[in-house]
Structure 1
Amino acid sequence: MAGTTVRNWLRAKGSPGSSKVTFLELFFDLVFVFSISQLSHALAAHYSLLGAAEAALMTFAVWWMWIFTAWVTNWLDPEKMPVRAMLIVLMLLGLVLSSSIPEAFGDKGLLFAGAYVLMQVGRSVFTAYAVRHSSHSNYLNFTRISIWLAVAGVFWIAGGLLEHEARLIAWVIALAIEYAGPASGFFVPGLGKSSTADWDVSGAHMAERCALFIIICLGEAVLVSGRTFSEMPFSPMTGLVLVTSFASTVAMWWLYFRFGHERAAHRIEHEAKPGSMARQAFTYAHIPILAGIIVDAVAVEFIFSHPHEVGDLGIAAVILGGSGLFLAGNLWFKGATSGKAPLSHLAGIVLLILLTFLVPAVEIYVLGILAALVLVIVVAWEYRSLGSAAPAPTLH
């Protein structure tokens, strides 16, 4: 009887609607969109090499937390009460984690680390328990993952007790351990290692999870530009910056959704080893996509505040870097799911690199317009190349 009860916590694979993202998963994402907002504000407020390194580390941590949970809900059914309770607890801890981001390298380091470790280890231990009767291979997988996350957790907590650069070093070690886990198959002496063949995932669910998260993050970027615009006196310049930032966000939306996620869902759903492709296309390739959205939101704030500055390499790096990271992520994502890197994205990255030579000669707002124009050019190029091909059908 106990085995039957636990087995009911899993999604009914293959049944109609079994891969559909639930409302609770979307509700869960709201906490992490708050994290993205906090990260962009933290980077803007502490914009320096050290501040950028700290923001990058926290971005990697937040993404790793979110994507691991997305993998878990690929197997576990959020409509089942135990799974629902687990996600709600994760939301509460995620709210604590998100709230502590601005002071994660200050007075709230231990709070950030404690919430993170509880979320990572707690979720993995719960999943190992949930699948123990239904899938021995996945039970071993999540047991190994729990051990790796617990080892990394020692460095997270130690970093929370340390200060300044020592905290950064401890957390870099913790994050390196976590990111090395999948590449090593989460090898544990006596328990062996995982194989991507063991990770039988629903490509439609993974694609929809990531797509909905990205569109919510793009929505947050729209809110940032709208809020900043509303707080400033109206002028032709603020209006121009608003239109530029909106055009850039729309171009990002188009590049990801027009020829990206649906084709990826179709491809992965028919892949012999979906776990391998899911790890490449969703777990890793989405990191620069997310980072590009965060950096672009910071760029918008800087352009509104300093439209006429010339030659500021720091602000220029954010303006060009946001678009560049987003294009690089999409290049990786589409290349992993189609087997062919889109030439339009490569050309866009080259154009952004060439724009760096104009930094000493043009004002910040002009550089923002040019960066947005590069995204629009990539959109037009890709549409001209692939526009006649209908997107792959949505697998619902």
Structure 2
Amino acid sequence: MGSRRYPGWRPVRTVAAGARVARVEVFFDLVFVYGFFNISRFVAEDLSTHGLVKGMLVLALLWLCWIAHILVAQRVRLGEGIAPLVTLTAMGAVLGIALSIPQAFGDQSGGGPAPVLFPLCYFLFRGLHLGLHLYAVRDRPVERRQLIRIGVAVVVSTGLLLAAAFVPDLPDDADHLWVRPGIWALAVLVEYGNGFVVGLAGWRLVAPGHFVERFELIVIIAFGELIISIGLGSGVLGKPVTWTTFYTTLVGLAAIVSLWWLYFDSLAPAAELAMHGRRGPARIALARDGYLYLHLPMIAGLILVAVGGERMVHHLGAAGVDLLGPLPGLGGPLLFTGAALYLVSLVAFQFRVLGTVVWTRVTAVVLVVAAVPVAGRLPAPVVVALLTVLTVGLVVAEIVLLAGSRWALQEAVREEREAREAREARWRRHHR
């Protein structure tokens, strides 16, 4: 009855080369704000090597969920047919993952469901997307076989996560703190290793513009989490704002804006042009290396900056704090470690996608890395100011020294945008 009444309706509609990001995709990304936020909270509660490793393992699996969503979006219009229902159901699975993060490495016998909830929601999310993806490529046997191989890895990794949930508590002298993270690390290795084993055969990147835009949006999500975390560190709901807190957040915002600029001003549009210029396996390899893999350490770096920044603001906003004393704990070093990881990822991404290296960014990486051991000994206001000076200085240097190449790139991007807008305007004039 439905098909006779709506003859144009189809359960799945395929993606075209000029596809745009659907509203449901932007809405879907919002749940990842909560996921990234909980990861930063999780790391902040256990600010140690052990806590950092566990936080990065959770991020690695959450990232695979988002990647599965992106790959489906290269086959299916997620705003049409049954795809919105699948997407919104998957949001519930991500919410379950995010809720379970704080207790994900606990013992299931302890009474809470979180250690089992994480793998079950992870399996549900991946299963929903694999099912939709398989249906969309039912006439492409090579890609179907690739998806089945991915499905096998999902089953294995989920089994490992469930096994970790039921590992009983061990005596303290058995170093049980690394037993569950070790099993999780094996699950992550299975998933990411399988990505290289599967290879590039059968895959297609139908809409590179849509693909690139989705990654730009998830980077924006990570920046949003960074701003929220620093705001949370000010404790505005529990105590009055001080001038020191205002100084720290304002100076920190300048550093955040600089980090944002380093990705979005020139690098992101240049990478999109490079993606459009590649075809076949070369485009797939570029997408896998530059986006699926190298954007993960970018996100990880921003989360580490968020944790360090929150500790910094919280410390400076505390009553009676010695402003000339160093920031206790790992907050300062973590702030610079996250910034260094983010900058290194940008350099690697640019080299992989564009084949170029900018000496200003390499210099900035060296300076930020050199500041990591010093950050724990300097007064907290100096630490945040130092990071801001380095990042803002890098932006100013590139604006001045790379003005010619930036202008040429902006002209190319402007021409492409105006041509696309002209095509859309012509279509609208003929379909009023």
- Normalised TM-score (structure 2): 0.83
Match of 2:249 in 1: 242
Paired residue type of 2:303: I
Q: CA 1:149 to 1:377, structure 2 compared with 1: closer, same or farther past 3 Å?
A: same
Identity of aligned residues (%): 24
CA radius of gyration, larger in: 2
Choose the corresponding residue for 1:387, options 403, 406, 417: 406
Aligned pair 1:331/2:347, yes or no?
yes
Match of 1:81 in 2: 81
Pairs within 5 Å for 1:1-396: 9-14=12-17, 18-106=18-106, 107=112, 108-133=114-139, 135-162=140-167, 164-185=177-198, 194-196=199-201, 198-229=203-234, 230-231=236-237, 232-272=239-279, 273-307=282-316, 308=323, 309-310=325-326, 312=328, 314-356=330-372, 358-359=374-375, 361-384=377-400, 385=402, 386-391=405-410, 392-393=412-413
Q: For residues 9 and 132 of structure 2, what CA distance do their matches in structure 1 show?
A: 11
Deviation per CA, 1:113-140: give whole Å up to 9, x if none.
111122123321331133112x222222
Q: For residues 304 and 360 of structure 1, what CA distance do their matches in structure 2 show?
A: 15
**Structure 1 gaps, min length 5:** 186-193
Q: Is residue 251–residue 385 contact of structure 2 (8 Å, CA) maintained in 1?
A: yes
> 1:388 is paired with a residue of what secondary structure?
helix
Q: Is residue 299–residue 319 contact of structure 1 (8 Å, CA) maintained in 2?
A: yes
Shift of 1:5: 10
Q: CA 1:33 to 1:361, structure 2 compared with 1: closer, same or farther past 3 Å?
A: closer
Q: For residues 219 and 357 of structure 1, what CA distance do their matches in structure 2 show?
A: 27
Shift of 1:50: 0.8
Q: For residues 372 and 352 of structure 1, what CA distance do their matches in structure 2 show?
A: 11
Deviation per CA, 1:238-292: give whole Å up to 9, x if none.
1110112211111111111001222111111120221110001110111111011
Q: CA 1:357 to 1:144, structure 2 compared with 1: closer, same or farther past 3 Å?
A: closer
Aligned-pair Cα RMSD in Å: 2.3
Q: Is residue 343–residue 365 contact of structure 2 (8 Å, CA) maintained in 1?
A: yes
Deviation per CA, 1:46-73: give whole Å up to 9, x if none.
1111111111111111111112211211
Shift of 1:7: 8.2
Q: CA 1:93 to 1:8, structure 2 compared with 1: closer, same or farther past 3 Å?
A: closer
Q: Is residue 15–residue 206 contact of structure 2 (8 Å, CA) maintained in 1?
A: no
- Normalised TM-score (structure 1): 0.90
Shift of 1:226: 3.0
Paired residue type of 2:194: G
Q: Is residue 42–residue 102 contact of structure 1 (8 Å, CA) maintained in 2?
A: yes
Q: For residues 241 and 80 of structure 2, what CA distance do their matches in structure 1 show?
A: 51
Query: Is the deviation greater in 314-323 or in 20-29?
Result: 314-323
Q: For residues 364 and 152 of structure 1, what CA distance do their matches in structure 2 show?
A: 42
Query: Is the deviation greater in 204-213 or in 119-128?
Result: 119-128
Shift of 1:165: 3.2
Q: CA 1:252 to 1:210, structure 2 compared with 1: closer, same or farther past 3 Å?
A: same
Query: Is the deviation greater in 22-31 or in 197-206?
Result: 197-206
Q: For residues 284 and 259 of structure 1, what CA distance do their matches in structure 2 show?
A: 20
Shift of 1:236: 2.5
Query: Is the deviation greater in 352-361 or in 363-372?
Result: 352-361
